[in-house]
Amino acid sequence: MLTSEGSRPDEAGVSRAGLVPDAEPVIDAAVAPAYATWGQRVVAALLDDAMLAGVTWLAFGSGYFLPTLTPVLWADADEGWPSDPRILIPLGAVAVLLVLQALTGWTPGKLVVGIRVVREESSAPAGLWTTVARWVLHLLDAVLLIGYLRPLWHRKRQTFADGIVRTVVVQQLPDLPRKQGLAVYSAALVAVVLGLGYCFPIHGGASSAPESVVVCELDGRAPYLTTGEIALDGSVWEDWERRMWTVKATRTAHPGATVTWASDPSVRDVHYRVEIDARPSSEDGEPMISRSWDVGTGGVDDDPSSDGSYTHTRNISPDGDVHVADVELQESDGDLGALGTQVWTDVRLIADGEVLAACGSGMGYDDADQVG
């Protein structure tokens, strides 16, 4: 049988061991813990990776490469590793799990499932360098996933990494007094439940209008423009993602303008054009996104906007026609997210190739009133 520092089988057939043995025990083959099944290993890995995914989302949000204790040869995210000091948060979480496994044989996921990584010859914890080597060598297991499937048929249920560093995964729980054991198991259970909770997002979004607009009064350029104004406005689309009680929101500015002008009745057949240039307010130079709209004459025979990015109406009067053109940049026009929420916008009204009026100013889209 095992010494008091070693392990002994409990009534359920799962052995118990101290969290950090004082010495390497001598194993009696008759009472050695049973090897963990492939299913137990998979569940434990999923629970540990769920915790790492939750930590990564809390640090950065969605769309980044997720750290794992079971590496694979492909990435699940589009954006890769962020170049941000906060990358130390998920990497630190990986380090904590590796150290726990190195010193005790358990991670929260493995403890909840009731399995432990130990040295093959002594059933002692594997130690830091062996644990790190085993983690790196899991890349060999990831080749066609053969190594990860190997415990299904191997006598000792070992992956290739286990075989190289001489570790086995056994069914074993900590040998602690009842209250301490319950506290340790409860802490591990809470950690994995939170990790799982942060893996299930709820998405939503809403369109908002900026709280204030910039208005430029226009000088007369008869007959195409006798009076008018350009109001820099647009909208903000806010995407939010809720996981557990945490909500992360991202705002995307859609710069736009409302151009109002009066024209002489003699030029009702003239086609007008509106142009917008947008760039972050913090940057000088060339615009990041540009677009022009042939808004037509504003008559009833004009073709409507195919993408809903503009409207142009004209109220006819004997004394002069009043035009209202609304334009707004769309996702298809460029990377609106790169503009940020402080945007410099230049707007021009053009007729017959001549710029009739222009307005340029910075616009803030940080605070907005929800409109839908």
Residues 21 and 47 in one domain: yes
225-284 confidence digits (pLDDT tens) = 999 999 999 999 999 999 999 999 989 999 999 999 999 998 888 999 999 999 999 888
Residue 3 has pLDDT above 50, yes or no: no
pLDDT confidence band for 219 (50 / 70 / 90):
confident
Domain total in the chain: 2
Query: What pLDDT was estimated at residue 32?
Result: 61
Residue 172 has pLDDT above 70, yes or no: yes
Query: What pLDDT was estimated at residue 307?
Result: 67
Six-digit token pair at 117? 């990584």
Query: What pLDDT was estimated at residue 11?
Result: 43
Q: What is the DSSP string of 45-108?
A: HHHHHHHHHHHHHHHH-SSSPPP-SS--SS-S-SS-S-SSGGGHHHHHHHHHHHHHHHHHS--H
CA-CA distance, 250 to 263, in Å (whole number)?
Answer: 41
Residues 172 and 209 in one domain: no
Residues 208 and 189 in one domain: no
276-306 confidence digits (pLDDT tens) = 999 999 888 899 999 999 988 887 667 766 6
Residue 6 has pLDDT above 60, yes or no: no
Residue 22 has pLDDT above 50, yes or no: no
pLDDT confidence band for 353 (50 / 70 / 90):
confident
Instruction: Note whether residue 321 is domain-resident.
Output: yes
Query: What pLDDT was estimated at residue 82?
Result: 65
Residues 235 and 124 in one domain: no
Query: What pLDDT was estimated at residue 2?
Result: 39
Instruction: Note whether residue 2 is domain-resident.
Output: no
175-196 confidence digits (pLDDT tens) = 999 999 999 999 999 999 999 9
* CB 141 within 8 Å of CB 161: yes
Residues 98 and 187 in one domain: yes
Instruction: Note whether residue 222 is domain-resident.
Output: yes
Residues 26 and 163 in one domain: yes
Residue 371 has pLDDT above 60, yes or no: no
* CB 291 within 8 Å of CB 348: no
Mean model confidence pLDDT for the chain: 87
Residue 14 has pLDDT above 60, yes or no: no
Query: What pLDDT was estimated at residue 26?
Result: 45
Domain C-terminal end among 152, 174, 197: 197
Residue 192 belongs to domain spanning: 7-197
The overall pTM is greater than 0.85: no
Residues 208 and 110 in one domain: no
Comparing CA positions, the residue from 187, 175, 270 lying closest to residue 225 is 270
Neighbours of 241 (CB within 10 A): 17
Instruction: Note whether residue 1 is domain-resident.
Output: no
In residues, how long is the chain?
372
Residues 106 and 179 in one domain: yes
Average pLDDT of the segment spanning 75-89: 70
